[in-house]
Structure 1
Amino acid sequence: MTDEIEELDCDVLIAGAGPVGQVLALLLAQHRLRVGVVERWARPYPLPRAVAMSHDVQRVLRQLGLGEELSVLLEPWGQDGQRFSFADSSGRTLVESRYPLESDSGYAQMSGFSQPDLEEVLERRVRADPLIDQYRGFALEGFTDDGSAVHATVVPHTGLAAVADGSPRTVRAAYVVGCDGANSTVRSLLGPQMTDLGFDRDWVVVDVVPHTPPTWLPYACQRLGPARPTTLVPAGPGRRRWEFMVMPTDDPAGIDTDENAWQLLAPWGIHPGNADLVRHARYTFRGRWADRWHKGRVLLAGDAAHQMPPFLGQGFNSGIRDAASLAWRLALLVNGEGKESLLDDYTAERSAHVAQIVKETVAIGRLICMLDPEQTARRDAELERDATAGIEDAHKNWLLRGGTLRDDGVGGNLGLQATVGGGGRTALLDEVIAPPGFLLLGRDRDPVELLSPPRRAAWRRLGGRSAHFGPEGLKDAEGTYAHWFKRLNASVVAIRPDFQVFGGARDAQAADALVHDLAERVLT
């Protein structure tokens, strides 16, 4: 690593090298942008944090070419019929549900993983990418946006003894993205209003590695109050996580200690003789998001833009979705092809999406954190009566609304990835048509043939590709796409580089209008 950061000139400067910042950097490099990343800490954080990866996020990570490196890190939730249960204080099951092993992305709905292992893989990729300059030991302190570029003030992090010079440096970038966490400096400098749902509960998170598979434990469960509410989930291959609510009677000074962690684990049959204690940490779970995610050429993503309780496992996943939604927009803007309104659309799409998830997560959190005996008794009875409700509904695809989407009942869906035949092999769609890029997908004929010359020219400007099913195209190996097109009532769909569907069309005239609308929303 060089200290010549004052000479850095990049397309996008990212503050923060957590998984959101690293994924965004790699996605931007896929679009051939030059990226700078500043991170105050010398190495990735070595202890577990996020443990749940959604199917659509796995698809984003796989497009980075992680392949087998990612597969060995993941434990699909729901293998061998494993289920998630809600139980009362005595351990009696009130309602349970399966974790689906199928999804619109072609992967299990949710998979467990260890964040340090994932960050190690991402760190290697970032360091090896010639388009990414990463500067660990530096922090973004301020910036000025002159309308054509952002001049960021970057200073060595004084907590690192290796930094010999404390003088500030200036980095010139076309755009700056704050991926610098819940205590974001970039957000503080932008000063957006925050929508806060007024939910804050203290919990102790405990991660362990059992010496042998703990077959006596439930696979995943939520133990409800009025005794201590507790969550147990798989946290990646060979790992388990407990989350214990801090109770009013707990001693604040002793709650976040090794001794207390073992005491909390003891009723579950976990002790120093059969497990290693990896980590314990006290957290305040909150639900809030920024009302504005960009100002000029400075943007927010990940925890800098939103924080949510972990009850649906969507904090990390929402951050990676931010990165995927932002990368293709910045690529168009840097290359002079995109409209500035793309950044307003980014805020509109992602903030509305996150707001929906945070509201649902907080609603579940209020249910879980209930302590009044009479209220909990009524809650338990209602859960037991409505046992068919299905916890799996919490892991659905939240549809996008507004932003760079058509409001036609098709836009905002996640683009389907299923098994197709093409190029002499049978594989998932992304292995046959490698992302990133805009894709025009036809049910039974090449969609580009349906376009007028001006629309074909617009599609070429977008770098768009096309594919279709039929004798001269892809094979719908399992009939999944035929069902999907029928459900959407479309014969052509336009899919963005982040795998979100822009909109659909039923015939040639509508397909031409579809590409026209996309070009009008995106291109200068």
Structure 2
Amino acid sequence: MSSNIDPAFQAHIQHDVAIVGFGPAGAVLANLLAIKGLSVLVLDREADVYRLPRAIHFDGECMRVFQTLGISDELMAQLFVSPGMKFVNAEGKVLIDYTRSVELGGQAWHPGYRFHQPDFEDVLRKKLEQYPQVEVRLRHDVFAITEHEDGVELRVEDTSCGRLLKAHARYVVGCDGARSTVRRMMGTELDDLNSHERWLVVDVLLQRERSDLGDHSIQYCDPRRPATYVRGVGERRRWEFMLMPVDDPTTITRPESVWSLLAPWVTPADAVLERPAVYTFHSVVAKGWRNGRLLIAGDAAHQTPPFMGQGMCAGVRDVYNLAWKLADVVQGHASETLLDTYESERSPHVREFIETAVRFGKVIQATDHEVVKKRDASMLANTEVFHTPQPALGSGAHEGGRIAGTVSVQPVLKDGTRLDDVVGYRFVLVANPDICSDLNVTPDERVAVIPAHDPSLKNWLESLSAQAVLVRPDRYIAGAASDVGKVQDLIQVFVGSAVL
């Protein structure tokens, strides 16, 4: 390569991780790896953030990830705390009550938030600028990937000028969406969960106050035209309409068609159309999230119907699970087999969310009047009060059992500090003070040891019937212990003998 080539593509430069795709999952992953000190190359074919709304909801567990990134306070000014969702039939009677508390939950954040994705991505990208070891290259399209014994070569086109380049990295993570190039090059197939329906998604900006529209999201389970209403941030509102057999997808996005559908709620005097677009809501899970030095995350690994608002959340959980494992492998703290626990843990976890969304889809998308009649009779007799599931991870880098593999709560200490802010992005051992005094563990950059003097920590341990709990950097519990010996074993197995 000539000397005037971008340094990120010099032949002697090998990045620790190359991330293909700079949407939310890719940007969160880049930030997490940067915190761990890894060198990262981010490649994206687009020139900028996509400026129209897409994802619109994330949960308290995701907000805890953003707390780790150091952007939660900045985000709060851009968010709306969501009170949840109701599923109603054609007569407006509630079939499923999916109301969320607007108080702080177990993650020390609210259970649900509405957001505007372009603003959110701007915050993620701005944060990444503080890390000099992260190189971001927009308008760079990956068209070939070759794996070698000690790394990966990526062939890249700089579409701003047509120049062909090569990049090198120890690992590549495809966060490049539903049509993932990385997934195709891995040879990974998709497991089809058999829910594929076309919907029209319409985003509007209100021009005047319309408090009567409400803050709850509403799923209109009406066989004549299933529809959804979502309250966004500020004056943003979204409606979604299922396409019916008589609809023409090429004309239904025309303003006159859209306003006809919106007529029960808003008129052109109330709002401005921001975006109408037809989407197919898919339900698939990849069968193979890792192939050697290639991995996938987010929509590249799974796609879900939107009826739980968990699409982006799943991608954020993916990269939170993966980032610390990549860092431990690259930095020599763990063998490469740790990366095999990524799919084994995440795949069954995300599948539960997708299968639940598919179940909701069957409720919402029913159009046969006899089926709907039976549905209403059954569900109205016992209205379902639904809560967001908190499944355990699949088998992997944890002990399993009742506690291990579940997401930990985040205690708020008596001085108002959230535990994660004390701990940082590393393992943490929260233990009875007596155990801490007998423990032969040296706290370092990989593990924090927190004696449970604070009442919130004492109460947490008591609720788990444990004397000590080891929590991973992604805030999932690695294991619990009742004595010093078991704590030493947990540290040895999951953190490594270097800290003992």
> TM-score if structure 2 supplies the norm length?
0.94
Cα deviation for residue 103 of structure 1 reads 2.3
Deviation of 1:507 (Å): 2.2
- Give 2:201's aligned residue: 205
Residues 170-217 of structure 1 deviation map (CA, whole Å, 9 limit, x = unaligned): 111111110000010000100112110121000011111212332222
- 1:6 counterpart residue number: 9
Query: For the residues of structure 1 that align with 2:38 and 2:367, how far apart are their CA atoms?
Result: 52
CA distance in 2, matches of 1:430, 1:519: 18
Q: Is residue 514 of structure 1 aligned with residue 490 of structure 2?
A: yes
Q: Is the 8 A contact 1:111 1:236 kept in 2?
A: no
Residue 48 (structure 1) aligns with: 53
Residue identity matched to 2:147: D
SS in 2 for 1:311: helix
Deviation at 1:520, TM superposition (A): 6.6
Instruction: State the match for 2:426 in structure 1.
Output: 437
- Which residue does the alignment assign to 1:407? 400
Cα offset, 1:332, TM superposition: 0.9
Letter of the 1:237 counterpart: G
**Which amino acid in the other structure matches residue 250 of structure 1?**
D
Q: Tell me which moved more, 208-217 or 315-324.
A: 208-217
Per the alignment, residue 160 of structure 1 pairs with none
One-letter code aligned to 2:396: G
Judging changes above 3 Å, is the alpha-carbon distance between structure 1 residues 98 and 2 closer, same or farther for their aligned structure 2 residues? farther
Task: Say if 2:175 is the partner of 1:173.
Answer: no
SS at 1:252 equivalent: coil
SS where residue 359 of structure 1 aligns?
Answer: helix
1:380 pairs with 373, 376, 382, which one? 376
Q: Deviations over 1:130-156 (max 9, x none)?
A: 121100010111111112111111112
Alignment of 1:250-329 (within 5 A): 250-268=247-265, 270-329=266-325
Distance 1:522 1:115 in 2: 41
**How many pairs align?**
492
- Which is further off, 205-214 or 224-233? 205-214
Contact 1:492 1:506 in 2 (8 A): yes
Supply the AA of the counterpart residue of 1:467.
I
How far did residue 448 of structure 1 move?
4.1
Equivalent residues in 2 for 1:90-489, closer than 5 Å? 90-101=91-102, 102-157=104-159, 163-164=160-161, 166-219=162-215, 220-268=217-265, 270-387=266-383, 389-391=384-386, 393=387, 395-421=388-414, 425-431=415-421, 433-442=422-431, 444-445=432-433, 447-451=435-439, 453=440, 456=441, 463-470=446-453, 475-476=454-455, 479=456, 481-489=457-465
Amino acid at match of 1:466: V
Give me the whole-angstrom Cα distance separating, in 1, the residues matched to 2:458 and 2:224. 50
SS at match of 2:407: coil
Q: Deviations over 1:403-450 (max 9, x none)?
A: 1111131111212112103xxx4322123x1420000011x3165434
Deviation at 1:97, TM superposition (A): 4.3
| Alpha-carbon separation, structure 2, partners of 1:149 and 1:143 | 11
TM-score of the two chains, using structure 1 as the length reference: 0.89
- Runs of 4+ with deviation above 6 angstroms: 520-523
Please give the alpha-carbon distance, in whole angstroms, between the structure 2 residues aligned to 1:482 and 1:213. 47
Match of 1:25 in 2: 30
Distance 1:300 1:362 in 2: 23
Q: 1:469 is matched by which residue type in structure 2?
A: A
Structure 2: runs of 5+ lacking an equivalent: none
Q: Deviations over 1:71-97 (max 9, x none)?
A: 11211112xxxx532211133334434
**How far apart in 2 are the matches of 1:92 and 1:2?**
64
For 2:244, the aligned partner's letter is: M
- Cα contact 2:177–2:298 (8 A) shared by 1: yes
Q: Give CA deviations for 1:331-370 in whole Å, capped at 9, x if unaligned.
A: 1111112111111101111111111211111111112111
Q: 1:371 to 1:174 in 2, by over 3 A?
A: same
Gapped runs of 5+ residues in structure 1? Answer: 158-162
Looking at structure 2, the residues matched to 508 and 308 of structure 1 have their Cα atoms a distance apart, in angstroms, of: 43
- Answer whether contact 2:205 2:235 (CA < 8 A) is retained: yes
Amino acid at match of 2:437: E
1:104–1:414 CA contact under 8 A, matched in 2: no
Q: Is the 8 A contact 1:342 1:522 kept in 2?
A: no
SS in 2 for 1:63: helix
Cα 1:211–1:468 shift into 2, 3 Å: farther
Deviations 1:465-508 (A, max 9, x none): 110222xxxx22xx4x4443233221211011111111111222
Is this contact kept in 2: 1:74–1:111, CA < 8 A? yes
Residues 1:122 and 1:351: Cα distance change in structure 2 (over 3 Å): same
| Corresponding letter in the other structure for 1:261 | V
**Whole-angstrom distance in 2 between the partners of 1:245 and 1:497:** 41
Deviations 1:111-166 (A, max 9, x none): 10010110111122223421211000101111111121111111123xxxxx22x2
Deviates more, 1:237-246 or 1:29-38: 237-246
Q: After alignment, is 91-100 or 216-225 more displaced?
A: 91-100
Q: Could you report, residue by residue, the CA deviation over 1:364-387 in whole angstroms, capped at 9, with x for unpaired residues? A: 111211110011111112221112
| CA contact 2:347–2:394 (8 Å) conserved in 1 | no
Q: Which letter maps to 2:225?
A: R
- What is the rounded CA distance, in whole Å, between the counterparts of 2:5 and 2:230 in structure 1? 42
Aligned-pair CA distance for 1:521: 11
Tell me how far apart the structure 2 counterparts of residues 406 and 521 of structure 1 sit (CA, whole Å). Answer: 17
Aligned-residue sequence identity (percent) comes to 34
Measured in 1, the distance between the counterparts of 2:171 and 2:242 equals 41
Q: Conserved in 1, the CA contact under 8 Å of 2:8 and 2:41?
A: no
Is the Cα–Cα contact under 8 Å of residues 17 and 40 in structure 2 kept in the other structure?
yes
Letter in 1 for 2:59: S
Alpha-carbon contact 1:309-1:361 (below 8 Å) kept: yes
